[in-house]
Amino acid sequence: MENVGVCDEFVNLKATELRLGLPGTEDEKQKVSCGKSNKRALPETEKDIESTGKTETASPPKAQIVGWPPVRSYRKNSIQTKKNEAEGQGMYVKVSMDGAPYLRKIDLTMYKQYPELMKSLENMFKFSVGEYFEREGYKGSDFVPTYEDKDGDWMLVGDVPWEMFVSSCKRLRIMKGSEAKGLGCGV
Amino acid sequence: MSEDDEDQSPPSDLRSQPPPCSPNKSRNCISSSSSSQTFPDHVLENVLENVLQFLDSRCDRNAASLVCKLWWKVEALTRSEVFIGNCYALSPARLTQRFKRVRSLLLKGKPRFADFNLMPPDWGANFAPWVSTMAKAYPWLEKVDLKRMFVTDDDLALLAESFPGFKELVLVCCEGFGTSGIAVVANKCRKLKVLDLIESEVTDDEVDWISCFPEDVTSLESLAFDCVEAPINFKALEGLVARSPLLRKLRLNRFVSLEEVHRLLLGAPQLTSLGTGSFSQTHQSEQEPDYAAAFRACKSVVCLSGFRELMPEYLPAILPVCANLTSLNFSYANISPDMFKPIIHNCHKLQVFWALDSICDEGLQAVAATCKELRELRIFPFDPREDSEGPVSELGLQAISEGCRKLESVLYFCQRMTNAALVAISQNCPELTVFRLCIMGRHRPDHVTGKAMDEGFGAIVKNCKKLTRLAVSGLLTDQAFRYMGEYGKLIRTLSVAFAGDSDMALRHVLEGCPKLQKLEIRDSPFGDVALRSGMHRYYNMRFVWMSACSLSMGCCKDVARAMPNLVVEVIGSDDDDENREYVETLYMYRSLDGPRKDAPQFVTIL
């Protein structure tokens, strides 16, 4: 080993590192990883070690190495989208408002309940939604929030429990005027 | 399914020159200029031609071409299928000068490690010079099969226009083109039988390429577009399938819904190979289509793949075809053991099985219990990270080896493995030719004994006497490589990552494996001594890749100087490397026509 000094630094870092592996394998690993120092023979600096990211001894345990494990990005991407959906990482839905020139998008996972969502919509489109009643729907406003569910039907926002709403909502539409009245309270 | 298929026949680049007619050689040399022969040359030529045209194997053909000049000439006239394992091993001009009647070309470009982002983009492997040269030389070209090549829409357009009899286009792991290029091929290649786009990156030019196929009956036998990330015109697809009576293989992309697949199946019961699109229901309708009935009608389906965006409750629909399946690809579907076991229980004829590790060891045990004819197994990680859970281990693979004695090819990603399991596997499966094990945690030892994985891999190379391809992983010392050198006499392809202790490891392999053709190494402590030790080998190999090892520029220059027909590429990394001596990536290969002219800036050819 040319740069024992560097190895010492590695050793120190390794002592604090969390690694998977049985006790007693430490020594072997240390020897091996020192031997594997990617950049060698030159005045070793921390900068070199950090910049490459491939020097496994210095990188934090969870840092991902380029191209490892060797799974093609095509395959990774195909599975990744599914994982994101499964973990519910961000559920963006389109929001249209009758009369507005363009649509908006909101992330439903940002809200915990209906009032938060309503407030956000009201701020976004500068309107007021009125008060929700279980039987009559929204009263006190020309605007009625609706959503399209998985079956393609247009439903009134607020009828079902929040979690059920988030999982079935495909897009939102703020209805206005006479069309809204049909969904709202009977006038 | 041809992800990384290994060529079964030995390598045969166009590397040999015509043999000289020298008196040293004891061959019968028939000079074409001599007039004192018993039979006129053209008679001999005709006889030879008639005989040689039956030679299919390129290994045999290469051997035949070395007999003498006449045989060289006639073989060149009769070779209709050309395989070029490295597009930079020779120039297109050399191809067309030697072989005059080529109908089929198989061309490979980038090295495999480029798939894992170990090389900057735009490295090369352009199809353009090949297609433009062939356009003039081979007007009767019928088949082009490319792997890891850069293909543009213009290239595809030129191809479509230049070859009126064009029949088969297969693009595996290619990029650089989009749906507009595909549209031209669909439209202009009137005799098209095969259009297979496999694991390629296809840009969405928002072109309705399916509608570009000619309106009359087509000769299509195989259409694969599962990698095309763009919506398609289903009505046009339905019409296309309806007027393609010869269609046997159809691989759809995820934009085709289950209901649509159902409709296609009803109209095409003659299919033998089906790649489903999205296996999920989009609309909850009153009457759900009887998916099982549609599959039941496909009595000929033997190969199933796809299952993107799987809704597991619909999986039982495929039960009617399970008994006939020889090939099943679940590798894009996150299926639990409980959903999986009832399906696999029926697949007695299965020979090829690809899946995600979500089926767990339990699922693999179910495969072992049922699939006695299994030849090929590939298990991919659902969560491809070093520190992920790892639902499969040595237990699953060992169970497979016990149940599936005819196993020939394995690709297995896992987090835990033991030497004992590998020893058992090596004894259970003597037919293994391909063994690729990826223990995802780097330097991970045997999780029971804590020892290096040397003995396990040693047993594999020792007991699997037919082994031609090996990929190793886990904690490995030089001893493992000693075993490889001693026993790996048939190994042609070797992949090494984060393994070995010293130069000796690589030396063992270079000195001990006479058939080694393709060597790819990353992040291993092999340096100049090791590189020099293999100089007697490099002309007989297709390529050597070494990245993040311990090579110096000086040594690589020495090798380049000593071996003029070897192209030695040093590929730089993106970060500013003060150290000009350190070689980040070495990629070297033999070439008949010298270094390439299209190398980008980050490539230095020594």
Minimal Cβ distance to B334: which of A31, A35, A82: A82
**What is the per-residue pLDDT for B23?**
41
* H, E, C per residue of B311-322: CHHHHHHHHHHH
Top-ranked range on mean pLDDT: pick from A40-44, B332-336, B396-400 = B396-400
Name the least confident of A83-92, A148-157, B398-407: A83-92
Q: Mutate which of A14, A17, A32, A62 to disrupt the B interface (most B C-beta within 10 Å)?
A: A32
Q: Mutate which of B476, B555, B579 to disrupt the A interface (most A C-beta within 10 Å)?
A: B579
pLDDT at position B37 over 80: no
Q: Please state the pTM of the whole predicted model.
A: 0.76
Residue in chain A closest to B448 (alpha carbons) equals A22
- The DSSP secondary-structure symbol of B550 reads B
Name the least confident of B392-406, B462-476, B578-592: B578-592
Beta-bridge mates of residue A96: A173
Euclidean distance between CA atoms A127 and B178, whole angstroms: 45
Q: How confident is the model at residue B148 (pLDDT cuts 50, 70, 90)?
A: very high
| B292-305 mean pLDDT | 87
Give percent above pLDDT 70 in chain B: 91
B384 touches A: beta carbon within 8 Å: yes
Please provide the average confidence, as pLDDT, over all residues in chain A.
68
Model pLDDT for residues A123-135, shown as the tens digit of each residue: 888 888 888 888 8
Please provide the average confidence, as pLDDT, over all residues in chain B.
89
List of chain B residues whose C-beta atoms are within 8 Å of the C-beta of residue A27: none
| Burial bucket for residue B426 (CB in 10 Å: 0-12, 13-18, 19+) | buried
Euclidean distance between CA atoms A103 and A172, whole angstroms: 10
Amino acid at B398: Q
Q: Do B550 and A40 touch (CB under 8 A)?
A: yes
List of chain A residues whose C-beta atoms are within 8 Å of the C-beta of residue B356: 79
List of chain A residues whose C-beta atoms are within 8 Å of the C-beta of residue B550: 38, 40
- Interchain CB contacts (distance < 8 Å): A and B: 123
Residue in chain A closest to B286 (alpha carbons) equals A151
**What is the per-residue pLDDT for A60?**
43
**What is the per-residue pLDDT for A83?**
53
pLDDT at position A88 over 50: no
Q: How confident is the model at residue B273 (pLDDT cuts 50, 70, 90)?
A: very high
Q: Which residue has the higher pLDDT, B598 or B6?
A: B598
B229 touches A: beta carbon within 8 Å: no
Name the least confident of A117-131, B10-24, B327-341, B408-422: B10-24
Model pLDDT for residues B413-424, shown as the tens digit of each residue: 999 999 999 999
Q: Do B387 and A41 touch (CB under 8 A)?
A: no
Residue in chain B closest to A81 (alpha carbons) equals B309
Name the least confident of A31-35, B317-321, B408-412, B580-584: A31-35
pLDDT at position B363 over 80: yes
**What is the per-residue pLDDT for A58?**
39
Query: Three-class SS of residue B436?
Result: strand
| B112-117 mean pLDDT | 93
B270 touches A: beta carbon within 8 Å: no
| B36-65 mean pLDDT | 77
**What is the per-residue pLDDT for A20?**
59
Q: Which value does ipTM take for this structure? A: 0.83
Residue in chain A closest to B311 (alpha carbons) equals A82
B positions 520-559 inside 8 Å of A (CB): 522-525, 548, 550, 552
List of chain A residues whose C-beta atoms are within 8 Å of the C-beta of residue B383: 83
Q: How confident is the model at residue A22 (pLDDT cuts 50, 70, 90)?
A: low
**What is the per-residue pLDDT for A24?**
53
pLDDT at position B107 over 90: yes
**What is the per-residue pLDDT for B414?**
96
Show which residues on chain A lie within 8 Å of chain B, measured between beta carbons. 20-22, 24-25, 28-29, 31-33, 35-36, 38-42, 51-52, 54, 56, 61-62, 64-76, 78-79, 82-83, 86, 150-152
Query: Three-class SS of residue B99?
Result: coil
Q: Mutate which of B4, B115, B199, B411 to disrupt the A interface (most A C-beta within 10 Å)?
A: B115
State the smallest CA–CA distance between residue A169 and chain B in angstroms.
13
Q: Do A64 and B442 touch (CB under 8 A)?
A: no
Euclidean distance between CA atoms B192 and B166, whole angstroms: 6
Beta-bridge mates of residue B604: B570
Q: How confident is the model at residue A1 (pLDDT cuts 50, 70, 90)?
A: very low
**Strand A154-156's sheet: what is its strand order?**
A104-107, A92-97, A171-176, A143-148, A154-156
Residue B448 phi, psi (nearest 5)? -100, -45
| A105-121 mean pLDDT | 86
**What is the per-residue pLDDT for B345?**
96
B203 touches A: beta carbon within 8 Å: no
Compute CA A120 distance to the chain's CA centroid, rounded to the nearest angstrom. 20
Q: How confident is the model at residue A181 (pLDDT cuts 50, 70, 90)?
A: low
Top-ranked range on mean pLDDT: pick from A25-34, B348-357, B564-573 = B348-357
State the smallest CA–CA distance between residue B283 and chain A in angstroms.
6
pLDDT at position B3 over 50: no
- The DSSP secondary-structure symbol of B590 reads E
Q: How confident is the model at residue A79 (pLDDT cuts 50, 70, 90)?
A: confident
Residue in chain B closest to A76 (alpha carbons) equals B384
Q: How confident is the model at residue B299 (pLDDT cuts 50, 70, 90)?
A: confident
Q: Do A74 and B227 touch (CB under 8 A)?
A: yes
* Rounded alpha-carbon distances, angstroms, from residue B530 to B461, B478, B507, B556, B588: 21, 12, 5, 11, 15
pLDDT at position B115 over 90: yes
pLDDT at position A116 over 50: yes
List of chain A residues whose C-beta atoms are within 8 Å of the C-beta of residue B578: 42
Q: How confident is the model at residue B176 (pLDDT cuts 50, 70, 90)?
A: very high
State the smallest CA–CA distance between residue A108 and chain B in angstroms.
21
Minimal Cβ distance to A35: which of B384, B442, B501: B501
List of chain A residues whose C-beta atoms are within 8 Å of the C-beta of residue B387: 20, 61-62
User: Tokens at residue B595, please?
Assistant: 């270094």
Minimal Cβ distance to B381: which of A42, A69, A150: A69
For tokens 């061309």, what's the residue? B107
Minimal Cβ distance to A56: which of B331, B334, B442: B442
Model pLDDT for residues B453-467, shown as the tens digit of each residue: 999 999 999 999 999
Q: Do A62 and B117 touch (CB under 8 A)?
A: no
pLDDT at position A27 over 90: no
> Which residues 6+ apart lie within 8 Å of A158 measured at CB?
A114, A132, A138, A145
B501 touches A: beta carbon within 8 Å: yes
Q: Do A75 and B386 touch (CB under 8 A)?
A: no
Q: Do B523 and A152 touch (CB under 8 A)?
A: no
- For residue B32, the tally of other CB atoms under 10 A from its CB is 13
| A78-104 mean pLDDT | 72
Model pLDDT for residues B516-528, shown as the tens digit of each residue: 999 999 999 999 9
User: Tokens at residue A39, please?
Assistant: 């950049």
Minimal Cβ distance to B283: which of A76, A79, A152: A152
Residue B223 phi, psi (nearest 5)? -135, 115
pLDDT at position B34 over 80: no
Residue in chain A closest to B576 (alpha carbons) equals A51
**What is the per-residue pLDDT for B285?**
58
Q: Do B116 and A70 touch (CB under 8 A)?
A: yes
pLDDT at position B596 over 70: yes
| B379-398 mean pLDDT | 92
State the smallest CA–CA distance between residue B477 and chain A in angstroms.
9
**What is the per-residue pLDDT for B579?**
60
List of chain B residues whose C-beta atoms are within 8 Å of the C-beta of residue A86: 334
Q: Please give the full DSSP string across B172-234, using - where no structure is assigned.
A: ES-BSEEHHHHHHHHHH-TT--EEEEES--EE-----GGGGS-SS-----EEE-TT--S---H
List of chain A residues whose C-beta atoms are within 8 Å of the C-beta of residue B502: 35
| B325-330 mean pLDDT | 96
| B52-73 mean pLDDT | 83
pLDDT at position B19 over 80: no
Q: How confident is the model at residue A63 (pLDDT cuts 50, 70, 90)?
A: low
Model pLDDT for residues B194-211, shown as the tens digit of each residue: 999 999 999 999 999 999
B574 touches A: beta carbon within 8 Å: no
Residue A133 phi, psi (nearest 5)? -125, 140
| B564-571 mean pLDDT | 93
| A159-184 mean pLDDT | 78
pLDDT at position B558 over 50: yes
| A102-106 mean pLDDT | 87
**What is the per-residue pLDDT for B38?**
57
Euclidean distance between CA atoms B473 and B15, whole angstroms: 33
Name the least confident of A112-116, B177-181, B389-393: A112-116
Euclidean distance between CA atoms A43 and B23, whole angstroms: 59
* Rounded alpha-carbon distances, angstroms, from residue B344 to A104, B72, B338, B411: 46, 51, 11, 19
| B281-298 mean pLDDT | 72
**What is the per-residue pLDDT for B114?**
93
For tokens 């999920």, what's the residue? B280
Q: Mutate which of B522, B529, B551 to disrupt the A interface (most A C-beta within 10 Å)?
A: B522
| A50 neighbors A58 (Cβ within 8 angstroms) | yes
Q: Which residue has the higher pLDDT, A64 or B364?
A: B364
| B398 neighbors B374 (Cβ within 8 angstroms) | no
Name the least confident of A148-152, B30-34, B100-104, B255-259: B30-34
Q: How confident is the model at residue B284 (pLDDT cuts 50, 70, 90)?
A: low
